[in-house]
Amino acid sequence: MDLYEYQGKELFRRFGIPVSDGRLATTPAEARAAAEELGGPVVVKAQVLTGGRGKAGGIKLASDPADDEAKPEEILGLDIRGHVVRRLWIERASDIAKEYYLSLTFDRGAKKVLLMLTREGGIDIEEVAAERPDALARLHVDPLEGFQPYQARRAVYGAGIDDPGEQKQILDVVRELYACFVECDAMLCEINPLIVTPDGEVRALDSKFTVDDNALYRHPDVAEMRDLEAVPAEERAARAKGVTYVKLDGEVGILGNGAGLVMSTLDVIALAGGRPANFCDLGGGGDAQGVVDALEVITADPQVRSILFNIFGGITRCDEVARGILQALEQMTIEHPIVVRLDGTNAEEGRELLAEAAPSNLHTEPTMLDAARRAVELAA
Ligand code: GDP
Ligand code: MN
């Protein structure tokens, strides 16, 4: 789960990392009230779950009170690479002397936490890593040994930070960020830029924060930060119904039982020249209600043009799935063509049930490849 900048900064603050004072606002009037409360110049920052907001016009300095509503007006509703701005973070503006970069992330290859620090912050870290690797201090923290103070010192020296005042503050920030990363079950904590003010004060000016979904049950306060409005309607429905759903980019909605079969179905759709719009995994169950739930989720995706059921009966009985499909068609209007391939346990019974009812938009095919071809054809 990705957090907004202001949410990440709230977690930073809890762990002692210095951040600027700020307020959340959703309207220009709220933004102005926040600016007045903070006093002096503020930065108006779009809160969206994507980076590069500055370049996209999502971050603006409001230096005089006339700007306190004008800048929020400009930024609210802005579309930043598909993310519409609905929330603003109004923050007391900082004077910036230097922009550094600090992050903690997983290096899955090394099975360790990777710490990266460079004086070349404020820009894409990929660019620094590719073009000036020497400027980037990288080191691993062994999860069993835990974080050791010498590692922060090594990173600070490695990055060429030689001002003693900065060194001292950054050593603290590194230690605090590591504690924050581990205790929040984070997968990424990035501060870009980590600034130094003209007075020599170090502060986190941005936050990119990803928490492991599988650990959210341990952090109810973090789980509550999820912005349900930022999630597409069908993903919200899937979560509420407990349906395993993944959104993709094409036109064919896919329902299968079991992750392996679903993955193969994606490949076969590609082989047939089509592209999957999404997929639902019915898992080992596939009872009628499960089919209804999954169909509701899949058809809520406006990109879907046809639906492919790929069922291999093992524990799942094909007749049960067939009944689920027919029941779903009674309960809801589905305009999309539906292609069904049933194989395995009770496949014959399942096909008979479908043939008897024979809804006009339902097509059965004997093999996975035939079914995929048909579904792709019908989506065209
Ligand atoms: P991003 O573009 O999404 O990474 O958003 P950031 O929060 O990193 O902001 C982008 C840039 O805006 C920063 O690198 C700064 O140069 C500038 N910026 C952000 N906050 C302030 C501030 O308080 N004062 C000044 N002068 N510049 C700021
Ligand atoms: Mn940034």
pLDDT tens track for 202-228: 999 999 999 999 999 999 999 999 988
Query: Relative to the alpha carbon of 4, which ligand is closest?
Result: 1
- C-alpha 295 – ligand 2 centre gap (Å): 40
- C-alpha 82 – ligand 1 centre gap (Å): 21
Residue minimizing CA distance to atom 14 of ligand 1 = 122
Indicate the pLDDT class of residue 286, thresholds 50, 70 and 90: low
pLDDT confidence of residue 282: 84
pLDDT confidence of residue 223: 95
Residue minimizing CA distance to atom 10 of ligand 1 = 54
Indicate the pLDDT class of residue 188, thresholds 50, 70 and 90: very high
Ligand 1 atom nearest to 43, measured from its CA = 23
pLDDT confidence of residue 284: 64
- C-alpha 312 – ligand 2 centre gap (Å): 47
Which tokens in the block code for residue 75?
Answer: 């930024």
Q: How far apart are CA 68 and CA 29, in angstroms?
A: 9
Ligand 1 atom nearest to 93, measured from its CA = 23
DSSP state, 285? T
Range with top average pLDDT, 1-5, 62-66, 82-86, 234-238: 1-5
Ligand 1 atom nearest to 96, measured from its CA = 26
Q: Where are the alpha helices (DSSP H) in 200-317?
A: 220-223, 233-241, 259-271, 288-299
pLDDT confidence of residue 239: 82
Average pLDDT over residues 120-133: 89
Query: Relative to the alpha carbon of 203, which ligand is closest?
Result: 1
What sign for the dihedral angle of Cα 222, 210, 226, 57?
positive
Query: Relative to the alpha carbon of 99, which ligand is closest?
Result: 1
- pLDDT tens readout for residues 331-379: 888 999 999 999 999 999 999 999 999 899 999 999 999 999 999 999 9
Q: What is the residue type of 301?
A: D
Residue minimizing CA distance to atom 6 of ligand 1 = 206
pLDDT of residue 250 exceeding 70, the answer is yes
Q: How far apart are CA 79 and CA 96, in angstroms?
A: 28
Residue minimizing CA distance to atom 17 of ligand 1 = 54
Q: How far apart are CA 4 and CA 49, in angstroms?
A: 6
Which tokens in the block code for residue 186?
Answer: 């984070």
- C-alpha 50 – ligand 2 centre gap (Å): 10
- C-alpha 60 – ligand 1 centre gap (Å): 8
Indicate the pLDDT class of residue 229, thresholds 50, 70 and 90: confident
Query: Relative to the alpha carbon of 81, which ligand is closest?
Result: 1
pLDDT confidence of residue 316: 86
**Percent of the chain residues past pLDDT 70, beyond the cut:** 99
In three-state secondary structure terms, 49 is coil
Pocket test for ligand 1, best of 206, 207, 208, 209 (most atoms within 8 A of CB): 206
Q: How far is residue 99 from each of residues 24, 42, 297, measured CA to CA in Å?
A: 24, 18, 45
Residues serving a catalytic function are 101, 190
Q: Ligand 1 pocket by C-beta < 6 Å: which residues? A: 43, 51-54, 59, 93-94, 96, 99, 122, 192-193, 205-206
E-strand ranges in 272-370 read 276-281, 306-313, 338-344, 362-364
pLDDT confidence of residue 181: 98
- C-alpha 32 – ligand 2 centre gap (Å): 24
pLDDT confidence of residue 66: 85
Residue minimizing CA distance to atom 12 of ligand 1 = 54
| Chain position carrying tokens 């603003």 | 88
